[in-house]
Amino acid sequence: IRQARARVGYNILPMNDVIVDIRPSIEYRRAYDFEGTLTDEEVQIGGFISGWRNSFIFANYNYEFERYNGVDFNRQGIRTMLGSDPLKWVGGRLNFSIGDSIYYDDDPYLGWKVSYGGTLTFRPLANLRLFYSYSNDTFWEQRGGPQVYTINVISQRISWQMTRHLSLRLITDYNDYDGDLFNSLLLSYQLNPGTVFYLGMDDSRLRENGVYQNLGNFYFLKFSYWWRL
């Protein structure tokens, strides 16, 4: 493919206790396939404001042309995000987007989509990090039309650096659309950069009639060694 991208921005620097910088920008992207057909074109106009304790506000307007499965689509939407780390041990993010969206299928069409969600990060100890997120995506056949689907996803990430070389990580994801529950546990031992031993287990479950059925467990070992010549 051939792709061109250009971005122009400007930094305004109040540098005070509330606002550190303001960054308006505009971005343009254009892509062609192997046969020289225009497949993607996008214009983004946005702004970013950052300030006190890593607090920020981001918003942009997006216009995009996309060719999918031989059909041309023109869509536009608005996306916003805000976040802050008010304390050393806790931080959060919120996001919201609304606008046109493509239903990717053999017979695609342009619908309407609203997405929102948030994340929370806790650091109760220097070597312990807990991350939680929630997202909701709702899609309609058209603005004000019948609803096609709504999906809620809840995720958890727990990372524990037990020693300088040994760490443990747990990932849990739940998707209410399919009823999938996924768990991943990983033990890592890093002797030095490039020399690492991994021991892990993945567990997948499907909810049927209110009961989770085990779809199987997957165990793995991995070892990498950096040979320096």
Report pLDDT for 22: 97
Task: Let me know: does 44 contact 37? Beta carbons within 8 Å.
Answer: no
Task: Determine the residue type at 19.
Answer: I
* 152-181: average pLDDT: 95
Give the single-character DSSP code of 52. Answer: G
Task: Determine what percent of the chain is predicted with pLDDT higher than 90.
Answer: 84
Report pLDDT for 211: 80
Report pLDDT for 193: 83
- Residue 5: partners with Cβ closer than 8 Å, 6 or more residues away: 27, 28, 29, 30
Q: What is the mean pLDDT of the chain?
A: 94
* Higher pLDDT among residues 1 and 84, named by residue: 84
Report pLDDT for 178: 86
Q: What is the pLDDT of residues 8-63, one digit of tens each?
A: 999 999 989 899 999 999 999 999 998 899 999 999 999 999 999 999 999 999 99
Q: What is the pLDDT of residues 135-165, one digit of tens each?
A: 999 999 999 999 999 999 999 999 999 999 9
* Higher pLDDT among residues 65 and 208, named by residue: 65
Tell me which residue of 13, 47, 12, 11 sits closest to 27, measured CA to CA: 47
- Residue 211: partners with Cβ closer than 8 Å, 6 or more residues away: none
* 120-132: average pLDDT: 96
Report pLDDT for 210: 74
Tell me which residue of 25, 47, 29, 46 sits closest to 38, measured CA to CA: 29
pTM: 0.86
Distances (CA, A) of 66 to 28, 46, 60, 62, 106: 14, 20, 19, 13, 15
Residue 162 Rama label (left phi>0; alpha psi -120 to 50; beta):
alpha
Distance of CA 48 to the CA centre of its chain: 18
